[in-house]
Chains A and B, each alone.
Chain A
C-alpha cells in the first residue's frame, strides 16, 4: 500500500482521476444520445426510427457511466457527494425525471399501440431536454461554487442552454457518422446550426471560471503556466475551424470523412474537460472542500481500486466489442 508513498495522498488523486474519466466518458457517450433526443422534433417520423436505431444498442451502457461517476463520488468522496447533491436537489430531481422519461420511451415507442407512438416520441424529446438542460444548469451552479444568487442563476441558465446545444451538436455529428441519404444531409445542417453552442458554451465557461475565482485566474494567467497552457485554447480553436470546414464539405460522395466531425467533437470535449479539471483541482466542492479532505478511508478506497483496475479494462473491452458489433450505418432495429 505504501508503494507510491502516502496512500492518503495518491489514493484521492487516483479516485479524482477515475471520477473525471467517468464524467468525461459519460458526457461524450450520453451526450450524443441525449443530443439525438434533443434533435427529435426536427426529424420526420421515419427518420426518428432511424435515429433511435442509431443509439438503441448503446444508450443503456452510456448511461451507466453516470451511475459509475455518481458511485465514485459517493464512494470515494462521501461528504462532497452529500454537499453537492443536497445543494442541487431540484435540478437533480428534474434530471432524474428526464432520464426516466427518455429511458422508458425507447421501449414504449416501439411496443405500445401505434396510436400512442407520437406521445412516447414527445416523452422522449421532453426527457432528453430535461436531462440536458438540468445537467447544463448543474454545471453552471458548480462553476459558480454552488451559491444561489441572481447572477449565478442567470449564468446557470445560460450554461443549461449551451450544454443542450452542445449535446445536440455531438448528437448531430454522431448521426452524420451513422446515417446516410437525406437524414445525413439533415444532420450536417443540424451540426452547422449547433456549432455556435459549443463555441459560446466553451467560451462562457472559460471566461467565467477565472473571473469568479481569483485562484483559477492565477492558475491560468501566471507565468510560465500561461504559455504551457496556451496549446489548450489554440488546439480548441483550430479544431473548431477544421470542424466548420469539414461541415461545409460534408457529406462527401463516397462518405469519406463522415467520422471526422464526431471524432473532432470528442477531442474538443476532452480539451474542454481538461481545462475545467485543471481549474478546479484540488477542489471537489469548489473553494470549499478538496479531494484530500473529502476522501474516504484509504482501506476502503484501496479495495475499490484493486477491483477497478481489473474490471475497468474489461468494461472498456466489451464496450468496444458492442461498438464494433453495431458499427457502420444504423439499420432498423430488430430482435430477429
Chain B
C-alpha cells in the first residue's frame, strides 16, 4: 500500500477513535449540569448519585478525547502538510479559535469540576460544570465550521494555489455549517441518551434498584425519544443541503448511477464500480425521487455525471458511502423503536422503570453504544463521500499528503491501531466495572455527608 492510502487509514483510524469520546463529552457535560441543577432544585439524593457515577464516565471519556485529539493536531503536520500549505489561511484561524476559546476553558475548569467540589463554593462548582459543557460545545462549533468549510468552501479566493480569506462571515457560516452542526450536536445527545439508558439498564438487570439508576434510565430514554425524531428531520435537511452542494455524494449514498426521474429508494444492493451498476438491487419505486425532490418524477443526479471525458472518476467510492449511510439510517430506526417503546412502557399505568419488559431492558445494553455506530457511520458517509477531494473543488486528498516513506506510516499505523484497540477494550471494560461496582453499593452509593468530617474520600478517585 502506498503512503496516501496508509495516511488516509491512519488519519481515519485516529479521527474515528477520537470522535467516540467528544461525542460523549459534548452532551454528557450538559447532562451533568442538568443532574446538578435538578439536585439544587429538588434536594433529591438520586440526582447526586447520578452525578457521582456519570462524572466518572465523563472524566474518563474526556481524557480519551484529549489524548486522541492531540494526536490529530500533530498529524495535520506529519501526514497532511499540503492541507495547511494551501488552505492554512482559512483553517488556521478556525483551529486557533478552537484552542483558545474551547480547549483551555474545558481543560482548566475540568480540574475544578472534578476535584474542586469541596474546595470552592457551590455556585463556582456549578459554573465550572457549565463552562466545561460550554467549552466542549464551542469546540464542536469551531471544528464543525472547519469541517463544513471543507465540504462547502466559501468566502475565499485562490492566489497561486493558496486560499486567502475574503469574508470571514461567509467562511464561518458556510452553506453546510448550520446543518452539520445541528446534526452532530443531536448525534451527541443521542449517543449520551442511549449510553445513559444502556448502562443504567445493565445495572438494573444485575439488581441495582437505587433511585439514581431509575433517574438515569428514565432521563436517557426520554432524551432519546425526544431527540430521535428531531435528528431524523435534521438529517433530512442535511441531506437536501448536500444534494444542493455535493450531488455526487448523494448519488453515492443512493447508489444511483444515471441522472433521471423516478429514481427508486434502494433498500439493499451491492454497488459494482466495474459494471457501474448495482447487483441484487431491492428498492421502493420512485422513493429517492420522492425523498430528495418531493415528487415521484423528480430528477435525481447520478454518479455517471461525475466521470471526466478522459475517464477520471471525480465521485467518491460508492460502496463504503452506500453501506455506511444505510447502517446509520438503520441504527437511527432502531433507536426510534427502542426509545419510543421504552417511553410507552414507562408511561403505561405510570409504572416507570418497573413497567419495562425484560427483553427491552436487555436490548438497551448493547444499544448503549448505538450512538457510536450511528455517529461513525454518518461520518464515514459524509467524509468518504467528499473524496477524492480534501477541500471540495479546491484541493484533492492526494495533493495534500506528506512525502513520508510508506513503511514509516505503516509501522506507526500498526502501533496506533494496537493502542486504540487496547484502550477501547479497557474503556468499555471500566464502564461496566464501574456499573457493577456501584450496583454493589461501593463508594458511589454514599450519601452527601452532613459535615466535612464525615466526608468519605477515596484516594485519587
Task: Name A residues whose Cβ lies closer than 8 Å to a Cβ of B.
Answer: 46, 49, 52-53, 56-58, 60-61, 63-64, 66-68, 70-76, 78-79, 81-86, 88-90, 92-93, 96-97, 99-101, 103-104, 106-113, 296-297, 299-300, 303-304, 307-308, 311-312, 315, 318-319, 321-322, 325-326, 332-336
Distance in Å: Cβ of B200 to nearest Cβ of chain A:
18
- Report whether A332 and B104 are in contact in the complex, using a CB–CB cutoff of 8 Å: no
Q: In the complex, which residue of chain A has the Cβ closest to the Cβ of B458?
A: A334
With A75-B92, A308-B100, A335-B56 known, 10 other A-B pairs at CB within 8 A are: A46-B459, A57-B114, A58-B111, A61-B108, A71-B96, A72-B96, A86-B403, A97-B419, A299-B89, A332-B460
A63 to B419, CA, bound (A): 20
- Report whether B112 and A322 are in contact in the complex, using a CB–CB cutoff of 8 Å: yes
- Report whether A75 and B96 are in contact in the complex, using a CB–CB cutoff of 8 Å: yes
Contact among A79, A321, A334 for B457, CB-based, below 8 A: A334
Question: Is B116's CB within 8 Å of the partner chain A?
Answer: yes
Question: Is B351's CB within 8 Å of the partner chain A?
Answer: no
The interface-forming segment of B23-31, B64-72, B243-251 is B64-72
- Report whether A100 and B458 are in contact in the complex, using a CB–CB cutoff of 8 Å: no
> Of residues A109, A113, A296, A335, which shows the largest number of chain B Cβ atoms within 10 Å of its Cβ?
A335
Which B residues are in CB contact (< 8 Å) with A70?
A: 73-74, 77
Q: In the complex, which residue of chain B has the Cβ closest to the Cβ of A102?
A: B67
Contact among B56, B62, B93, B103 for A111, CB-based, below 8 A: B56
- Report whether B99 and A64 are in contact in the complex, using a CB–CB cutoff of 8 Å: yes
Q: How extensive is the interface on chain B, given as a class?
A: 35 or more
Q: In the complex, which residue of chain B has the Cβ closest to the Cβ of A68?
A: B99
Task: Please list the 5 inter-chain residue pairs (A to B) with the smallest Cβ-Cβ separation, ordered nearest first.
Answer: A82-B81, A85-B77, A75-B92, A57-B111, A78-B88
Sampled A-B contacts (18; CB under 8 Å): A49-B460, A60-B62, A63-B70, A74-B88, A75-B95, A81-B84, A82-B81, A89-B78, A92-B74, A96-B70, A96-B71, A96-B74, A103-B67, A300-B93, A303-B93, A304-B96, A311-B101, A332-B460
Which A residues are in CB contact (< 8 Å) with B42?
A: none
- Report whether A104 and B77 are in contact in the complex, using a CB–CB cutoff of 8 Å: no
Which B residues are in CB contact (< 8 Å) with A110?
A: 460-461
Q: In the complex, which residue of chain A has the Cβ closest to the Cβ of B82?
A: A82
- Report whether A336 and B78 are in contact in the complex, using a CB–CB cutoff of 8 Å: no
- Report whether A74 and B92 are in contact in the complex, using a CB–CB cutoff of 8 Å: yes
- Report whether A104 and B67 are in contact in the complex, using a CB–CB cutoff of 8 Å: yes
Distance in Å: Cβ of A98 to nearest Cβ of chain B:
10
Interface of A, secondary structure class, is helix
Contact among A66, A82, A333 for B402, CB-based, below 8 A: A82
Query: Beyond A100-B68, A304-B96, is A57–B104 a contact (Cβ under 8 Å)?
Result: no
The interface-forming segment of B183-191, B228-236, B305-313, B426-434 is B426-434
Distance in Å: Cβ of B403 to nearest Cβ of chain A:
7
Contact among B93, B109, B460 for A53, CB-based, below 8 A: B460
A7 to B35, CA, bound (A): 50
- Report whether B461 and A60 are in contact in the complex, using a CB–CB cutoff of 8 Å: no
Distance in Å: Cβ of B367 to nearest Cβ of chain A:
23
A311 to B104, CA, bound (A): 10
A153 to B379, CA, bound (A): 41
Q: In the complex, which residue of chain A has the Cβ closest to the Cβ of B404?
A: A89
- Report whether A103 and B78 are in contact in the complex, using a CB–CB cutoff of 8 Å: no
Q: In the complex, which residue of chain A has the Cβ closest to the Cβ of B72?
A: A96
Query: Beyond A109-B460, A112-B430, is A311–B78 a contact (Cβ under 8 Å)?
Result: no
A48 to B429, CA, bound (A): 24
Which A residues are in CB contact (< 8 Å) with B416?
A: 97
Question: Is B63's CB within 8 Å of the partner chain A?
Answer: yes
- Report whether A104 and B63 are in contact in the complex, using a CB–CB cutoff of 8 Å: yes
A168 to B90, CA, bound (A): 40
Which B residues are in CB contact (< 8 Å) with A319?
A: 104, 108
Question: Is B15's CB within 8 Å of the partner chain A?
Answer: no
A75 to B100, CA, bound (A): 13
Which A residues are in CB contact (< 8 Å) with B115?
A: 56-57, 326, 333-335
Q: In the complex, which residue of chain B has the Cβ closest to the Cβ of A106?
A: B63
Which B residues are in CB contact (< 8 Å) with A106?
A: 63
- Report whether B93 and A304 are in contact in the complex, using a CB–CB cutoff of 8 Å: yes
Which B residues are in CB contact (< 8 Å) with A46?
A: 459
Distance in Å: Cβ of A38 to nearest Cβ of chain B:
18
Question: Is B97's CB within 8 Å of the partner chain A?
Answer: yes
- Report whether A75 and B114 are in contact in the complex, using a CB–CB cutoff of 8 Å: no
Q: In the complex, which residue of chain B has the Cβ closest to the Cβ of A334?
A: B457
Distance in Å: Cβ of B411 to nearest Cβ of chain A:
9
Which B residues are in CB contact (< 8 Å) with A107?
A: 59-60, 63-64
Query: Beyond A85-B78, A92-B78, is A74–B95 a contact (Cβ under 8 Å)?
Result: yes
A53 to B111, CA, bound (A): 11
Question: Is B353's CB within 8 Å of the partner chain A?
Answer: no
A93 to B84, CA, bound (A): 19
Query: Which B residues, 420 to 461, have Cβ-Cβ distances below 8 Å to chain A?
Result: 423, 426, 429-430, 433-434, 449, 455-461
Contact among B56, B104, B117 for A336, CB-based, below 8 A: B117
- Report whether B88 and A75 are in contact in the complex, using a CB–CB cutoff of 8 Å: yes
Distance in Å: Cβ of A162 to nearest Cβ of chain B:
23
Q: In the complex, which residue of chain A has the Cβ closest to the Cβ of B10?
A: A93
Question: Is B165's CB within 8 Å of the partner chain A?
Answer: yes
- Report whether A322 and B111 are in contact in the complex, using a CB–CB cutoff of 8 Å: yes
- Report whether B426 and A112 are in contact in the complex, using a CB–CB cutoff of 8 Å: yes
- Report whether B93 and A75 are in contact in the complex, using a CB–CB cutoff of 8 Å: yes
A68 to B115, CA, bound (A): 24
Distance in Å: Cβ of B305 to nearest Cβ of chain A:
35
Question: Is B118's CB within 8 Å of the partner chain A?
Answer: yes
A70 to B70, CA, bound (A): 10
Query: Beyond A56-B460, A89-B404, A300-B92, is A334–B118 a contact (Cβ under 8 Å)?
Result: yes
Question: Is B203's CB within 8 Å of the partner chain A?
Answer: no
- Report whether B457 and A315 are in contact in the complex, using a CB–CB cutoff of 8 Å: no
- Report whether B85 and A64 are in contact in the complex, using a CB–CB cutoff of 8 Å: no
A63 to B56, CA, bound (A): 21
A326 to B402, CA, bound (A): 43
A238 to B85, CA, bound (A): 45
Chain B positions 111 through 128: 1 when the CB is less than 8 Å from some CB of chain A, otherwise 0:
110111111100000000
Q: In the complex, which residue of chain A has the Cβ closest to the Cβ of B168?
A: A303
Distance in Å: Cβ of B6 to nearest Cβ of chain A:
12
Which A residues are in CB contact (< 8 Å) with B92?
A: 74-76, 78, 296, 300, 304
Question: Is B415's CB within 8 Å of the partner chain A?
Answer: yes
A103 to B402, CA, bound (A): 28
- Report whether B461 and A334 are in contact in the complex, using a CB–CB cutoff of 8 Å: yes
Question: Is B76's CB within 8 Å of the partner chain A?
Answer: yes
Which A residues are in CB contact (< 8 Å) with B93?
A: 75, 300, 303-304, 307
- Report whether B70 and A335 are in contact in the complex, using a CB–CB cutoff of 8 Å: no
A97 to B78, CA, bound (A): 14
Which A residues are in CB contact (< 8 Å) with B74?
A: 70, 85, 92, 96
